[in-house]
């Protein structure tokens, strides 16, 4: 069996549905959830369904960690058995130590060709970039070109979301500029976004319904008149909100693709239940 020219690797924060990652030959490295005395591999040892069922019953908040450099080396070695090179697209270094750990893991691969790309994103923002990389690789481009293409798309990727509570982001230390909202009126439902890889506030709305409408106004306004829209809707135990957002985007923006998925435990541990959000970019 011949080797692939370029293999695409990402981490489980990409939140791609399994069928999509498998169909596009994307290798997903699981993040780690440390919870109630257990170290669990994201989407391997614990599913999203089980995670959100257990979360409200738990006395402690789960914490997450990235694989060690040695574990990254093991993953890269496994992928290298069936590919001549690797392009690895990972969660923003502003949100996780994944990139640093992956670079150390790649050094142990010697002269094997690996490009590691900081997506400056998370969730389906990261997932859509990994998917774009996979399509570029499938078209026959070499690993330098695939990595350059992803870096070109990165500034065009938008991630926006509405949270029920800032408690998880605050306690997990990943709140970024949105920390100034902590301690504000409890009923406020923040609309947050990723800006240069960090979580920043976009708006503070009184109700979740209005916050979702504000997010949609921004999203649909940015998509208006654009062709080749690639989008993803993400949620954490909020399927009705996700369906509503997806239906609005599908009917008003006619995206080329629209992925819907529930947040993996590694994401849910850091943002909490009730979140609904989007990742999207346009090619033109």
The enclosing H or E element of 52 equals: helix 48-54
Tell me what the pLDDT averaged over the chain comes to: 91
- Give the pLDDT score at 271: 83
What pTM does this model have? 0.93
Adjacent-strand bridge partners of 205: 189
Q: In the predicted model, is pLDDT for residue 227 greater than 90?
A: no
Asked if the domains 7-31+66-154 and 157-282 are classified in one and the same CATH topology, the answer is no
Residue 283: pLDDT band (50, 70, 90) is confident
The enclosing H or E element of 33 equals: strand 32-35
Q: In the predicted model, is pLDDT for residue 279 greater than 70?
A: yes
| Residues 8-41: tens digit of each pLDDT | 999 999 999 999 999 999 999 999 999 999 999 9
- Give the pLDDT score at 168: 66
Residue 231: pLDDT band (50, 70, 90) is very high
Looking at residues 55-67, what average pLDDT do you find? 91
Class of domain 7-31+66-154: alpha beta
| Residues 148-207: tens digit of each pLDDT | 999 999 999 999 999 887 766 666 444 444 444 444 445 678 899 999 999 888 988 889
CA distance to 9, 26, 98, 281, per residue, from 228 (Å): 24, 22, 30, 8
Edge-to-edge strands, sheet with 158-162: 198-205, 189-195, 158-162, 276-282, 229-235, 257-262
C-alpha 49/C-alpha 29 separation (Å) is 20
Phi and psi, residue 159, nearest 5° = -130, 125
Structure token pair of residue 53: 């069922």
C-alpha 158/C-alpha 248 separation (Å) is 17
The total of other beta-carbon atoms located within 10 Å of residue 228's CB is 11
- Give the pLDDT score at 125: 97
| DSSP assignments along 170-218, one per residue | HHHT--GGGGGGTTS-TT-EEEEEEETTEEEEEEEESSHHHHHHHHHHH
Where exactly are the structural domains of the chain? 7-31+66-154, 157-282
| Residues 239-255: tens digit of each pLDDT | 999 999 999 999 999 99
Half-sphere exposure of 283 (CA within 13 A, CB side): 11
Q: Which fold has domain 157-282?
A: Hypothetical Protein Tm841; Chain: A;domain 3 (3.30.1180)
């Amino acid at each position: 069996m011949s080797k692939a020219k370029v293999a695409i690797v990402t981490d489980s924060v990409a939140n791609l549905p399994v069928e999509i990652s498998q169909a596009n030959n994307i290798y997903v490295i699981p993040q780690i959830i440390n919870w109630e005395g257990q170290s669990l591999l994201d989407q391997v040892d614990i599913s999203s369904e089980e995670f959100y069922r257990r979360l409200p019953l738990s006395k402690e908040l789960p914490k997450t960690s990235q694989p060690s450099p040695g574990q990254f080396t093991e993953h890269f070695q496994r992928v290298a058995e069936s590919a001549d090179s690797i392009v690895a697209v990972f969660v923003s270094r502003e949100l996780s130590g994944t990139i640093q750990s992956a670079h150390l893991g790649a050094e142990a691969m010697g002269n094997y060709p690996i490009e590691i790309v900081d997506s400056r994103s998370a969730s389906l923002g990261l997932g859509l970039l990994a998917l774009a990389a996979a399509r570029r690789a499938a078209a026959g481009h070499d690993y330098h070109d695939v990595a350059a293409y992803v870096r070109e798309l990165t500034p065009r990727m938008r991630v926006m979301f509405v949270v029920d509570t800032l408690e998880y982001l605050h306690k997990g230390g990943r709140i970024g500029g949105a920390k100034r909202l902590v301690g504000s009126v409890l009923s406020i439902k923040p609309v947050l976004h990723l800006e240069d890889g960090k979580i920043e506030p976009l708006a503070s709305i009184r109700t979740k319904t209005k916050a979702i409408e504000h997010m949609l106004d921004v999203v649909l306004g940015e998509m208006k008149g654009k062709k080749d829209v690639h989008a993803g809707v993400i949620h954490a135990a909020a399927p009705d909100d996700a369906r509503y957002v997806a239906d609005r985007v599908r009917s008003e923006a006619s995206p080329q693709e629209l992925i819907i998925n529930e947040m993996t435990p590694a994401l849910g541990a850091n943002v909490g239940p009730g979140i609904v959000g989007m990742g999207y970019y346009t090619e033109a």
